[in-house]
Amino acid sequence: MGSEVTEIFGSMVFNESVMKSRLPKETFKALMKTITLGEKLDGSVATVVANAMKDWAIENGATHFTHWFQPLTGTTAEKHDSFIEPTSGGNVIMEFSGKELVQGEPDASSFPSGGLRATFEARGYTAWDPTSYAFIKDGTLCIPTAFCSYTGEALDKKTPLLRSMQAIKKQAVRVLHLFPGNEDVTNVITTVGPEQEYFLVDKALYDKREDLIFTGRTLFGAKSPKGQELEDHYFGMIKPRVQEFMKDLNKELWKLGILAKTEHNEVAPAQHELAPIFGTTNLACDHNQLTMELMRKTASKHGMVCLLHEKPFAGVNGSGKHNNWSISTNTGKNLLDPGATPSQNAQFLLFLSAIIKGVDEYQDLLRISVASAGNDHRLGANEAPPAIISIFLGEELQGILDALLSGKPYGESAKEKMQIGVSVLPEFNKDTTDRNRTSPFAFTGNKFEFRMLGSNESIACANVFLNTIVAEELEQAADILEKSKDFNADLHALIVKNISEHKRIIFNGNGYDDSWVKEAEKRGLLNLRSTPEALQHTMEEKNIRLFEKHGVYSKVELLSRNEIHYENYIKILGIEAATMVDMTRKQILPAAQKFSLALSKTISAMQTAYSGCDVSYEAETFEEVCSLTKEIYEGVKVLESDLAKVTEECDPAKKAIFFHDSVLADMEKIRTAADSLELITPKDIWPFPTYGDLLYGVR
Ligand code: ADP
Ligand code: MG
């Protein structure tokens, strides 16, 4: 297998080495210039590249090509065209022009655009993103593209991500050129390694659950006798069937050049995680989308279903995505690595302080970037970080910052005060930095780990926001320091100022503790508990200004995204509520009826047979079933009437709040009663598989 890995790795990717071997030297050079420096691609170059790409794709079994893009639905889209062109003799040849490579026009008017594009002028176009390699998937050459309207608005998730990377590059390079030793730095990229959590359930059981099919999560289900209390699943032995799935998945991912690296069982039964080796944010985002897609496909080949929902099961952990994020230079330096010399340390502390300032000033945006109906079930519950944004630095790095702020020496043995740009940072143990798993935004030695992302979401938005926020803070720093007459003194002052003004965002304690909620409130930090609450902040003046200033979103683009965000939330809850009504009326109530009828018949039969017969089990159960049935029936009527009410509300913000406050609460009531009913109903009468079946069904 080992040698096979090196052979198959990237075998389905039109990557640099394939390009080098297949393109004329001049074409290759021109293309690399576009890829590394973002220079415009010449039409004649595109023609040559397209031809080489087509030949390579056909040799590798492809018959079709597609412009692969990431619409605002958060998934990916593709429309396949075959390479065939008819010839006059009634035959076909395989053709692919430079124009077809560079630009496409999917008739994609049904994708949400948040009003950016009235449907009558529906056409958006896709444009090749040469910074992400083309690849072959299911016999189709996929060309990663951006999706824009003809008036230039971004209709996708990739375009703003590329823009945000440009923004942070520009400002970071400015900052770096102020420090000695960075003369060779011409480019700065952000890097991401997203750890992906997921559940696997048996397909045959899944097929019996309408809620899983329609909503991706269970809307009903009493706790199984065994949940995650023994914590025996975490890092436990991987079951052979899952092992086979992982083996297959890795192979598929490797073929696409995705660096799948670690895999293990997670805390909840049936929950697993896959982590890739990090890469450029743009690629990491593409690769994460492909990873999710391949997880689903591969699971289905193995008779299972991969659940990527943030909270498929109540009472056991949900799934998230840890977005490990850092910044690095074209010279290979990780800017979040503290370094060893005074100058490297100073540079690190400036970047660190800029991030601290940015996270504090734009807490709302970071919260919004991870807000979804699914993730609302996690954030703030006892498994994921709370809905409050804070930064974890670890005690030792905190000690260094405290010493800087107070102007006192760090640690007992130190005699000298820390002087930025002059002193060397004291050693701090990076291994201790990762122990706190409760922080939403944790420094882990040479990167930050943003832990609030939902498992099902594209990582684009979180990284667009993060990149732009940090670009803004770096710009402010560069504006000050470029004018400085005494660099070290001004740098020292700026770092101290950033930290002292924004230290409220740093919290090294237990984020799951209730006392943190109170403490955060005292500090004036935001606690946006739900998606509707978070979304109210998107269009704040400071946020519009931020994105416009850095050319990442125009005001309309931001507004359209917010509209879609609301729309998504409302639609998801609408589907969940309708599914619940359906399951309640067609499955649960009829089952209750069947059971109560059986009980009543048994009771009278028993008493007829022998009047002194003890029917306490039958009678008490009958009473309980009747009372729960009534509760469920009343509940479903309330839910139905609230659903009718909500259709009258036109304002999306109010509608979302109504869904959150009323509809979700109605659903919770029905569920509680139904779960109690499940616990007393015989297995052969309960209409669908239970938690026990689902969580332990893959053997
Ligand atoms: P753990 O969090 O389990 O200790 P690691 O810290 O090694 O594991 O890595 C977790 C994830 O962070 C991996 O996906 C890894 O590739 C990613 N990562 C490591 N370094 C960086 C970096 N400089 N930028 C972005 N992601 C990184
Ligand atoms: Mg980690």
pLDDT band at residue 310 using 50, 70 and 90 as cut-offs: very high
Determine whether the shortest distance from the Cβ of 284 to ligand 1 is under 6 A: no
Residue 115 burial (10 A CB sphere; 0-12, 13-18, 19+): exposed
Q: Which domains does the chain have, with CATH numbers?
A: 2-156 (3.10.20.70), 165-217+232-413+428-553 (3.30.590.10), 569-695 (1.20.120.1560)
Determine whether the shortest distance from the Cβ of 277 to ligand 1 is under 6 A: yes
**Residue located nearest, by CA, to atom 17 of ligand 1:** 193
The rounded mean pLDDT for the chain is 92
**Token pair of 315, please?**
């009472």
- HEC-encoded secondary structure of 336-372: CCCCCCHHHHHHHHHHHHHHHHHHHHCHHHHHHCCCC
276 within 8 A of 254, measured Cβ to Cβ: no
Q: The tokens 């590249």 sit on which residue? A: 49
- Report the pLDDT value the prediction gives residue 122, as an integer from 0 to 100: 52
* Higher pLDDT among residues 263 and 674, named by residue: 674
361 within 8 A of 367, measured Cβ to Cβ: no
CA of 449 relative to ligand 2 center, distance in Å: 7
Distance CA 639, CA 636 (A): 5
Average pLDDT over residues 220-239: 84
Tens of pLDDT, residues 28-61:
999 998 887 767 788 889 999 999 999 999 999 9
What is the dihedral angle through the alpha carbons of 619, 620, 622, 623, rounded to the nearest 10 degrees? 120
Distance CA 377, CA 663 (A): 15
Q: The tokens 């940090």 sit on which residue? A: 470
Between helix 158-176 and helix 281-301 the angle, nearest 10°, is 140
Residue 189: strand, helix, or coil: strand
| pLDDT beyond 60 at 590 | yes
| pLDDT beyond 90 at 380 | no
Select from 80, 151, 159 the least CA-distant residue to 121: 151
Q: What is the pTM for the complete model shown?
A: 0.94
CA of 446 relative to ligand 2 center, distance in Å: 12
Q: The tokens 């952000």 sit on which residue? A: 190
- Single-letter residue type at 89: G
Residue 251: strand, helix, or coil: helix
Tens of pLDDT, residues 119-162:
445 568 899 988 899 999 999 999 999 998 888 889 899 999 99
583 within 8 A of 686, measured Cβ to Cβ: no
CA of 457 relative to ligand 2 center, distance in Å: 18
Tens of pLDDT, residues 329-358:
999 999 999 988 888 899 999 999 999 999
655 within 8 A of 649, measured Cβ to Cβ: yes
Ligand nearest to the CA of 439: 2
Average pLDDT over residues 381-393: 87
Select from 100, 97, 126, 131 the least CA-distant residue to 16: 131
CA of 318 relative to ligand 2 center, distance in Å: 16
- 263, 265, 278, 466: which to mutate for ligand 1, most atoms within 8 A of CB? 278
pLDDT band at residue 64 using 50, 70 and 90 as cut-offs: very high
| pLDDT beyond 60 at 431 | no
Determine whether the shortest distance from the Cβ of 274 to ligand 1 is under 6 A: no
Where do runs of H (alpha helix) occur along 584-615? 589-609
| pLDDT beyond 50 at 83 | yes
- Report the pLDDT value the prediction gives residue 35, as an integer from 0 to 100: 82
Select from 345, 75, 41, 321 the least CA-distant residue to 198: 321
* Higher pLDDT among residues 186 and 226, named by residue: 186
530 within 8 A of 379, measured Cβ to Cβ: no
- Under DSSP, the state recorded for 381 is S
Determine whether the shortest distance from the Cβ of 283 to ligand 1 is under 6 A: no
Determine whether the shortest distance from the Cβ of 291 to ligand 1 is under 6 A: no
Q: How far is CA 540 from the centre of its chain?
A: 24
| pLDDT beyond 60 at 118 | no
pLDDT band at residue 616 using 50, 70 and 90 as cut-offs: very high
Determine whether the shortest distance from the Cβ of 192 to ligand 1 is under 6 A: yes
